[in-house]
Amino acid sequence: MKVRIDGTTKEVRTIWREGQTIRLIDQRKLPHRFEITTLEDHVETAGAIMDMVMRGAGAIGVAGGYGMAQAALEAIDRDLPEFERYLLEAAERLRSTRPTAANLFHAIERCLDASSTGTVAERVEAVLSEADAIAEDDLEASRQMGVLGNELIDDEVRILTHCNAGALAFIDYGTALSPIRLAHRQGKKIHVFVDETRPRCQGARLTAWELEQEGIPYSLIVDNAAGFFMRRGEVDMVIVGADRIAANGDVANKIGTYEKAVLAHENEIPFYVAAPRMTFDLTCKDGESIEIEERSPQEIVGMWGVDDTRNPSRILIASEGTAVRNPAFDVTPAKYVTAFITERGILSPPFSESIKLTFGEADIS
Amino acid sequence: MKVRIDGTTKEVRTIWREGQTIRLIDQRKLPHRFEITTLEDHVETAGAIMDMVMRGAGAIGVAGGYGMAQAALEAIDRDLPEFERYLLEAAERLRSTRPTAANLFHAIERCLDASSTGTVAERVEAVLSEADAIAEDDLEASRQMGVLGNELIDDEVRILTHCNAGALAFIDYGTALSPIRLAHRQGKKIHVFVDETRPRCQGARLTAWELEQEGIPYSLIVDNAAGFFMRRGEVDMVIVGADRIAANGDVANKIGTYEKAVLAHENEIPFYVAAPRMTFDLTCKDGESIEIEERSPQEIVGMWGVDDTRNPSRILIASEGTAVRNPAFDVTPAKYVTAFITERGILSPPFSESIKLTFGEADIS
């Protein structure tokens, strides 16, 4: 992604590996400060995942793989049983940081599998290349969603997006923002409406920042205003990301996605969901079986930001004891989705068929 | 409305008059502090309207009438021409505080009309009783909406509301919250979902506070979550207020109202709008002719609350220079409204007819 640093524009990834060292953008400080953080060993990496220095399905998966690579390098001088024990302990530590992150588990499993045969040196080499392959896969999937999704974007269109399905949630490009980036780089005149996405405001904090850096015209709006602009004919299409997609095409994503899908449907605006193969869960029949996590009332009653001097600061909006319900995700029924943008193609209804055809069970392992 | 003060529950109005003194709840400090402010003359009252010490159509209208009563008492010892000039200047000052508040203009006009004949003493008396009548009319309309709206509320229902159409927006009871109060006082088991209502969070700051004081069970939710609870079958009805209702039943109200109306429609949940006669603008043909004010980006980029020590504090959420669109209101087409709750009855579709029949033009003057 493009980032403006001291007056010049540079290409930066969300997270990358330099030998045993991992470097990444500290997303907790955005949009107020742009800082690259360094993680020297897998324990620091586990801490960074837990503290949400980076977040987003793809980025967490890559961080997990890189953490395993660090662990392998840390244990390179041990004998084989010690090496194996060290790697298993590292895997356990990394897994426990975000117990619902499917990408994280998947990445750790891939690295453990890669380390299962050969000498210690060979196993270390295998883990390093597997970790790098996970990052490359993520990058390539995002890039490909950009190429395919871009074909859906005409010149002079206004696109609405929700939450952050951008480069910061992956290694680069993102899912929903990948086609938007490419359309802009090709000179298409686009404008992006960015829902602020309460309660954690990933739209206001991250998506608006990414678009600003990239020079893509955008307007930050409150979530309440998405319907207003749709009804006024100021939105031509919606593109969002997804956390989990069931076999029938039901989409679990950030709270509010369902609202925007219904409003798009009512106003006859195409509603696209951009997501890589990893997000499709064919073992999940439909949205009804997806459990929705409810999070702390503190996310709604209070709010983090920076004060006048740009130091982190928290305020209370409502009273501390306010009764709150805070579901983190919602499920958008497949009937509201126009098509899925994936790295393997654009999937159209009926989704039960197109998803199975593209990501058939044998392929998911 | 009920307010818990030092462990006991008292009945308090939003604003009231004691001779030349006006007392009112300082709404800028809610929900963190409950303070009654005193306004000694009409200049202080004008300042309080401008600074939004109180807000809400009804409350502002009553404050305007009380301000005129103060002005009349201030000028009681002057001769007639001086008295008239003083009153006209006061009217001008009060009018200029909130140039789009129809209730304010209406109240000031009523007081000027009342002061048009008789001696100075008689005119003062007439202005005082007109100002008190405005307050009584407001109170009676709210109470009546409660009685009529309550008949729509069954036992054990979950009601969703948006923004603050409560006692604080009027003298007492409110519009949308008036039937809710009465249902609760009659022992019906109700639960209220309160949209926080970004950007100014009147739901989180005011509606949640009113319900807490009254002991009515509620849950504060982010605006993004309203659709989630509707789809899960956890919302049985929606009741909102209105800023302006056109002759055909199109409703201008706080941004986000349209979204909730579409979501209620999609989930087959009745959507009620509670509003007094004053809110119906028969000179306005439909929603298309209602101009929508866009407000400062600061409302979205930053946020006011209180810090750890309960002192007012502002934080930045997004970057200061973020591109923002901030429409303050939206228009909900009449087709999404199940019925209007008014002090003259429940109005059902077709609204062009029921509105005209109930508030026919001759009646509006």
CATH of the domain at B109: 1.20.120.420
**With an 8 Å Cβ cutoff, are B201 and A318 in contact?**
yes
Kindly report whether the peptide bond that precedes residue B199 is cis, defined as omega within 30 degrees of 0: yes
Retrieve residue A336's tokens.
């509201």
ipTM of the complex: 0.94
How is residue B29 annotated by DSSP? Answer: S
Please report whether residue A227 resides in a domain: yes
Residue A81 distance to chain B (closest CA, Å): 50
**With an 8 Å Cβ cutoff, are B324 and A224 in contact?**
no
**With an 8 Å Cβ cutoff, are A313 and B307 in contact?**
yes
The interface residues of chain A toward chain B in range 102-121, judged by CB-CB distance below 8 A, are none
As a 3-state breakdown, chain A gives helix, strand, coil percent values, each rounded to 5, of 45, 20, 35
Backbone angles phi, psi at B274, to 5 degrees: -100, 125
Q: B271-274 and B237-240 as β-strands: parallel, antiparallel, unpaired?
A: parallel
Q: Residue A159's beta-bridge partner residues?
A: A192, A237
Q: Are residues B246 and B347 in the same domain?
A: yes
Contacts of B196 in chain A (CB under 8 A): 198, 300, 317-318
CA gap B202, B59 in Å, rounded: 15
Q: Is A196 on the interface with B (CB under 8 A)?
A: yes
Q: Is B298 on the interface with A (CB under 8 A)?
A: no
CA gap B17, B38 in Å, rounded: 10
Residue-level pLDDT at B83 = 97
CA gap B150, A363 in Å, rounded: 57
Residue-level pLDDT at B364 = 44
The shortest CB-CB distance from B31 to any of A304, A319, A331 is to: A319
Retrieve residue B245's tokens.
């209702």
Please report whether residue A147 resides in a domain: no
Higher pLDDT, B364 or B102: B102
Retrieve residue A92's tokens.
């356990």
Q: Has residue A3 got a pLDDT over 80? A: yes
The count of structural domains within chain A is 2
Residue-level pLDDT at B98 = 86
Map tokens 């400090």 to a residue: B29
CA gap B169, B164 in Å, rounded: 7
Q: Is B229 on the interface with A (CB under 8 A)?
A: yes
CA gap A172, A2 in Å, rounded: 10
CA gap A66, A17 in Å, rounded: 7
Q: Are residues B100 and B173 in the same domain?
A: no
Residue B107 CB coordination number (10 Å) = 29
Q: Are residues A173 and A293 in the same domain?
A: yes
B59, B97 contact by CB (below 8 A): no
Q: Has residue B187 got a pLDDT over 80? A: yes
Please report whether residue A170 resides in a domain: yes
Residue-level pLDDT at B363 = 46
Contacts of A163 in chain B (CB under 8 A): none
Q: Can you say whether the dihedral through the CA atoms of A134, A139, A144, A145 is positive or negative? A: positive
Q: Has residue A362 got a pLDDT over 70? A: no
**With an 8 Å Cβ cutoff, are B315 and A313 in contact?**
yes
* Mean pLDDT computed over every residue of chain A: 95
Share of chain B above pLDDT 90, in %: 92
Q: What tens digit of pLDDT does each residue of A130-177 get?
A: 999 999 999 999 999 999 999 999 999 999 999 999 999 999 999 999
How is residue B151 annotated by DSSP? Answer: T
The shortest CB-CB distance from A315 to any of B222, B254, B307 is to: B307
Please report whether residue B70 resides in a domain: yes
Q: B157-161 and B190-195 as β-strands: parallel, antiparallel, unpaired?
A: parallel
Q: Are residues B168 and B197 in the same domain?
A: yes
Q: Are residues B250 and B179 in the same domain?
A: yes
Reported confidence tier of residue B99, pLDDT bands at 50, 70, 90: confident
Q: Has residue B276 got a pLDDT over 80? A: yes
Residue A283 CB coordination number (10 Å) = 9
Retrieve residue A198's tokens.
């309460």
B334-349 average pLDDT score: 98
Share of chain A above pLDDT 90, in %: 92
Q: A339-342 and A271-274 as β-strands: parallel, antiparallel, unpaired?
A: parallel
Q: Are residues B11 and B103 in the same domain?
A: yes
**With an 8 Å Cβ cutoff, are A219 and B318 in contact?**
no
Q: Residue A166's beta-bridge partner residues?
A: A174
**With an 8 Å Cβ cutoff, are A222 and B256 in contact?**
yes
Q: Are residues B314 and B217 in the same domain?
A: yes
Q: Which of A142, A172, A188 is the last residue of a domain?
A: A142
Reported confidence tier of residue B201, pLDDT bands at 50, 70, 90: very high
Q: What tens digit of pLDDT does each residue of A219-276 get?
A: 999 999 999 999 999 999 999 999 999 999 999 999 999 999 999 999 999 999 999 9
Q: What is the CATH number of the domain that holds B360?
A: 3.40.50.10470
Q: Which of A101, A119, A142 is the last residue of a domain?
A: A142
Q: Is B288 on the interface with A (CB under 8 A)?
A: no
Residue A99 distance to chain B (closest CA, Å): 24
Q: What tens digit of pLDDT does each residue of B239-259 get?
A: 999 999 999 999 999 999 999
Q: Which of A115, A142, A169 is the last residue of a domain?
A: A142
B52-58 average pLDDT score: 91
**Domain range enclosing B341:** 152-364
Please report whether residue B147 resides in a domain: no
Share of chain B above pLDDT 70, in %: 99
Contacts of A327 in chain B (CB under 8 A): 225, 228
Q: Are residues B82 and B177 in the same domain?
A: no
Retrieve residue B170's tokens.
């009027």
CA gap B37, B19 in Å, rounded: 15
Retrieve residue A335's tokens.
């009937």
Q: Has residue A365 got a pLDDT over 80? A: no
Q: Is position B243 annotated as part of the catalytic site?
A: yes
List the alpha helices (DSSP H) in chain A. 42-50, 57-74, 80-95, 102-114, 120-150, 177-185, 202, 208-214, 226-231, 257-266, 298-301, 351-359, 361-364
- Angle subtended at Cα B228 by Cα B222 and Cα B230, rounded to the nearest 5 degrees: 110
DSSP string, B104-124: HHHHHHHHHHHTSSS-HHHHH
Residue-level pLDDT at A364 = 45
Q: Is B53 on the interface with A (CB under 8 A)?
A: no
* Mean pLDDT computed over every residue of chain B: 95
A216, A177 contact by CB (below 8 A): no
Contacts of A317 in chain B (CB under 8 A): 196, 201, 204-205, 303, 305
Q: How far is CA A332 from CA A56, A148, B68, B264, B302, in A?
A: 19, 23, 54, 15, 30
DSSP string, B240-267: E--SEEETT--EEEETTHHHHHHHHHHT
Please report whether residue B74 resides in a domain: yes
Q: Are residues A247 and A358 in the same domain?
A: yes
Q: Is A303 on the interface with B (CB under 8 A)?
A: yes
B126-146 average pLDDT score: 98
Q: Can you say whether the dihedral through the CA atoms of B348, B353, B358, B364 is positive or negative? A: positive
Q: Are residues B293 and B179 in the same domain?
A: yes
Q: Are residues B115 and B173 in the same domain?
A: no
**With an 8 Å Cβ cutoff, are B201 and A317 in contact?**
yes
Q: How far is CA A172 from CA A1, A33, B75, B153, in A?
A: 6, 19, 71, 52
The shortest CB-CB distance from B319 to any of A209, A228, A317 is to: A209
Retrieve residue A214's tokens.
């990239």
Q: Which of B129, B176, B159, B144 is nearest to B274 (CA)?
A: B176
Q: Is B201 on the interface with A (CB under 8 A)?
A: yes
Q: What tens digit of pLDDT does each residue of A308-333 get?
A: 888 999 999 999 899 999 999 999 99
B231, B253 contact by CB (below 8 A): no
Q: Has residue B361 got a pLDDT over 80? A: no
Please report whether residue A344 resides in a domain: yes
DSSP string, A209-273: HHHHHHT--EEEE-GGGHHHHHHTT---EEEE--SEEETTS-EEEETTHHHHHHHHHHTT--EEE
Residue of B137, B243, B250, B281 with catalytic role: B243
Please report whether residue A60 resides in a domain: yes
Q: Are residues B173 and B318 in the same domain?
A: yes
